[in-house]
Structure 1
Amino acid sequence: MTFSWTPHRFSGGALALDVANSIVLRADPERRIDRFADASVMDAFPGGANRHGAERALFGPLEPVTNDARLGLIDLREAIDRHFRAEILGAGKPALLADLLEAIAAVLRRSGERPQALDTATARSALLLLARPEPDRLKICPNCNWLFLDRSRNRSRAWCDMAVCGNRVKASRHYRRNREDPRP
Structure 2
Amino acid sequence: MSFSWTPHRFSGGALALDVANSVVLRHDAGQRIDRFATPAQLEDFPQAAVRFCAERALFGEIAPVRPDNRPAFLRLREAIDAYFRASVLKTSTDALLADLLELLAAVLRGAASPECLDAATVHSTLRLLSAPEKERMKICGNCGWLFIDRSKNRSRSWCDMAVCGNRAKATRHYQRRKQGARA
> How would you bin the TM-score normalised by the shorter chain?
over 0.9
- Runs of 4 or more, structure 1, over 2 Å off, are none
Identity %: 62
Please, which moves more after superposition, 9-18 or 68-77? 68-77
Q: Which residue of 2 aligns with 1:178?
A: 177
Q: Which residue of 2 aligns with 1:38?
A: 38
Q: Distance in 1 between matches of 2:111 and 2:83?
A: 22
Q: Which residue of 2 aligns with 1:163?
A: 162
Please, which moves more after superposition, 103-112 or 6-15? 103-112
Q: Distance in 2 between matches of 1:93 and 1:180?
A: 42
Where structure 2 has 5 or more consecutive residues not aligned to the other structure, the ranges are none
Q: Deviations over 1:92-130 (max 9, x none)?
A: 321100000011001111225x11100000011000010
The amino acid across from 1:56 in the alignment is R
Give the secondary structure class of the aligned counterpart of 2:138: strand
Where structure 1 has 5 or more consecutive residues not aligned to the other structure, the ranges are none
Aligned-pair distance for 1:137? 0.3
Give the secondary structure class of the aligned counterpart of 2:132: coil
Cα root mean square deviation, aligned: 1.3
Q: Distance in 2 between matches of 1:75 and 1:66?
A: 14
| 2:22/2:36 contact within 8 Å kept | yes
Q: Which residue of 1 aligns with 2:6?
A: 6
TM-score, normalised to structure 1, is 0.95
Q: Distance in 2 between matches of 1:111 and 1:31?
A: 32
Q: Which residue of 2 aligns with 1:53?
A: 53
Aligned-pair distance for 1:9? 0.3
The amino acid across from 1:140 in the alignment is I
